[in-house]
């Protein structure tokens, strides 16, 4: 017999247990948020002291991570979030994110290094140039969509990187573009810890801002547009301007991230922004789950953790020889790329909604078994 989707499979739980469950889940969520905040605040302490609650941790247990890498991860998170907003939510595939980072870096170079503007103003300038670049880069989207649009972002990448190269050679030299210390007013960002606080704040801001944008009316129109463009147009949504706005916002964030990246590394060249960089962002959002902002965070975190894990395993394998040694030690970087690439492939085939999608499915299944369990309890 065929099971219809609307067959009564799920027995609705009895009232009191529902309310009880809701109160519980509210408290549980608040507790979880509190724990997360505490963990985030305690993390830098753990990493600097190399100990947790006084218990010393070995390098291996900390996955050889340092606060510097966490900071780079935070910057990558901003990039992943902005790309996911554009590609996952608005449906505009873009491999131009590396170019946008480069735009931010160039702005920072001009405003910060050449003109000596204060750091905060530099970041603002990066946002503005980013938005303008987004506007220009988004113009093709008025004419073409989907496939051709990706190509236009590809063209964008090569054109911007050429401009970057010329810029670098004209105003600086082949070694790279240097950046002075960043400071917020009189507060100098001179230690990884200070950067951590600042970047964490910014990342949370970006996440929160994008999430609210998606929940706003325009944001929902954006998602509607991604799924059913014809329907969205018929609802009076001005699809074209919406797309352009999405691109501008996404580019502004990416550009600011690029400026932060430049300041953090204190020196960048055109090699820092190759097309592989753009592709890595795409990989991050696929792994995390396209359309899921939380997923982007996971994807970026994985991008950070994977090399560390591999490094760890590799350091154990120093004494081995032959194939194992070749793969794990000589070609660590390639192994990371290989695993990341394969992860993307596997997820695309078997779990197209990424890790976020998998977690949602798992939660749903848990809720189903929970509800049927409590229903049984109610009946007994």
Partner 1 sequence: MLGQVLFGGLAVGSIYGLVALGFAVIFKGTEVFNFAQGMFVVCGAYLAVTAMSVLGLPFFAGAVFIVCAAALLGVLIHALLIQPLSGRPMLSVIMITIALCIVLRALIEMIFGSAGRPLSTPLPSGVITLGSLRISKLHLTAMLVSWVCMGGFGAFFRFTPIGLLMRATADGHEAAVVSGINVNLMNRLAWAIGSVLAAVGGLFLGQLQIVSTELESIGLLALPAVVIGGMQSIPGAIVGGLLVGLVEQLAASYVSPKSSDIFIYGLLLLILMFRPWGLFGQRELGRV
Partner 2 sequence: MSNMLDVLNLSVAYPGKGLALQDVSLSVPKGGIVALLGANGAGKTTLIRAVTGLLDLHHGTITSGHIQFKGQSVNGLPAHRLVRMGMGQVPEGRLVFKHLTVEENLRVGAAFLARSEIKQGLEIVYELFPRLRERHLQAAGWMSGGEQQMLALGRAMIGRPQLLLVDELSLGLAPLIVKDIYRQLRVIGEKLGTAILVVEQNARLALDFAESAYVMSNGRIAFSGNALEVANSPAMQESYLGDVQNQPPSEQAQS
Q: What is the Cα–Cα distance from 134 to 138, expressed in whole angstroms?
A: 6
Rounded least distance, CB 3 to partner 2, Å: 9
Between residues 96 and 219, which has the closer beta carbon with respect to partner 1?
96
Q: At its nearest, how many Å lie between partner 1 and the CB of residue 172?
A: 17
Total number of residues binding partner 2 (CB under 8 A)? 3
d(CA 296, CA 96): 17
Q: Which residues contact 224 (CB under 8 A, 6 or more apart)?
A: 231, 232, 235, 237
Which of partner 1, partner 2, none interacts with 338 (beta carbon under 5 to 8 A by kind)?
partner 1
Binding segment for partner 1 (CB under 8 A), chosen from 27-35, 40-48, 155-163, 247-255, is 155-163
Q: Say how far apart CA 33 and CA 146 lie, in whole Å.
A: 38
Hey, which residues between 344 and 363 contact partner 1 (CB under 8 A)? 344-345, 348-349, 352
CB of 13 to partner 1, least distance (A): 37
Shortest distance (Å) from residue 187 CB to partner 2: 58
The region of 77-85, 104-112, 157-165, 171-179 touching partner 1 under the rule CB under 8 A is: 157-165
Q: Rounded to an integer, what distance in angstroms lies between the CA atom of residue 43 and that of residue 52?
A: 9
271 DSSP 8-state letter: G
Nearest 5°: phi and psi at 236? 90, 10
CA 256 – CA 177 distance, rounded (Å)? 17
Single residue of 11, 24, 37, 139 touching partner 1 by CB under 8 A = 139
| Nearer residue to partner 2 within complex by CB, 2 or 230 | 2
DSSP classification of residue 183: E
CA distance 132 to 277: 22
Q: What is the DSSP letter of 10?
A: S
**Strand-strand pairing, 183-184 and 55-56:** unpaired
143 contacts partner 1 (rule: CB under 8 A): yes
Please give the helix or strand (H or E) that residue 242 lies within, else none: helix 239-265
Task: Choose one: 14-22, 74-82, 91-99, 212-220; the region binding partner 1 (CB under 8 A).
Answer: 91-99
Q: Of partner 2, partner 1, none, which one does residue 150 interact with (CB within 5 to 8 Å by kind)?
A: partner 1
Q: Which is nearer to partner 1, 96 or 112 (CB)?
A: 96
Distance of closest approach, residue 10 Cβ to partner 2, in angstroms: 17
Binding positions for partner 2, 1-60, rule CB under 8 A: 2, 4-5
| Token reading at 306 | 């994977």
Count the alpha carbons within 13 Å of 260 in the hemisphere toward its beta carbon.
26
Q: Confirm or reject binding of residue 148 to partner 1 (CB under 8 A).
A: yes
Judged by DSSP in three states, 188 sits in: strand
Nearest Cα residue to 82 out of 205, 244, 254, 200: 254
Q: Rounded distance, CA 224 to CA 151, Å?
A: 24
Of 4 and 318, the one with the shorter C-beta distance to partner 2 is 4
- Decide: helix, strand or coil at residue 200: helix
The residue (of 260 and 286) whose beta carbon lies closer to partner 1 is: 286
- Contact status: 334 vs partner 1 (CB under 8 A): yes
Residues near partner 1 (CB under 8 A)? 87, 91, 93, 95, 139-140, 143-148, 150-152, 154-156, 158-159, 161-163, 165, 275, 279, 282-283, 286, 290, 326-327, 331, 334-335, 337-338, 340-342, 344-345, 348-349, 352
Residues near partner 2 (CB under 8 A)? 2, 4-5
């Amino acid at each position: 017999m065929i099971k219809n989707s609307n067959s009564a499979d799920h027995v609705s739980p009895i009232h009191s247990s529902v309310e009880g469950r809701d109160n519980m889940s509210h408290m549980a969520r608040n507790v979880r948020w509190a724990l997360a905040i505490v963990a985030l605040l305690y993390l830098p302490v753990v990493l600097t002291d190399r100990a947790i609650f006084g218990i010393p941790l070995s390098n291996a247990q900390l996955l050889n991570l340092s606060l510097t890498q966490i900071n780079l991860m935070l910057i990558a998170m901003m990039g992943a979030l902005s790309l996911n907003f554009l590609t996952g939510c608005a449906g505009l595939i873009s491999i131009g994110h590396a170019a946008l980072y480069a735009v931010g870096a160039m702005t920072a170079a001009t405003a910060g290094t050449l003109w000596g503007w204060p750091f905060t103003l530099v970041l603002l300038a990066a946002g503005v140039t980013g938005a303008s670049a987004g506007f220009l880069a988004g113009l093709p989207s008025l004419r073409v969509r989907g496939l051709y649009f990706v190509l236009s972002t590809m063209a964008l990448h090569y054109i911007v990187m050429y401009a970057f190269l010329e810029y670098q050679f004209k105003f600086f030299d082949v070694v790279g573009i240097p950046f002075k210390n960043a400071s917020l007013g009189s507060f100098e960002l001179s230690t990884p810890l200070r950067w951590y606080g600042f970047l964490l704040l910014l990342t949370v801001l970006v996440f929160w801002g994008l999430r609210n944008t998606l929940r706003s009316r325009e944001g929902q129109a954006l998602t509607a547009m991604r799924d059913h463009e014809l329907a969205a147009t018929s609802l009076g949504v001005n699809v074209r301007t919406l797309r352009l706005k999405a691109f501008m916002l996404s580019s502004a964030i990416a550009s600011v991230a690029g400026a932060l990246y430049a300041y953090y590394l204190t020196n960048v060249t055109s090699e820092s922004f190759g097309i592989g960089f753009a592709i890595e962002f795409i990989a991050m959002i696929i792994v995390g789950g396209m359309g899921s902002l939380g997923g982007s965070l996971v994807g970026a975190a994985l991008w950070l953790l994977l090399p560390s894990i591999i490094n760890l395993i590799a350091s154990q394998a120093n004494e081995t020889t032959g194939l194992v040694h070749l793969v794990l030690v000589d070609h660590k970087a390639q192994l990371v790329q290989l695993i990341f690439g394969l992860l993307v492939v596997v997820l695309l085939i078997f779990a197209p909604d990424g890790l976020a999608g998998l977690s949602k499915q798992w939660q749903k299944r848990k809720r189903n078994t929970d509800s049927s369990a409590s229903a049984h309890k109610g009946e007994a």
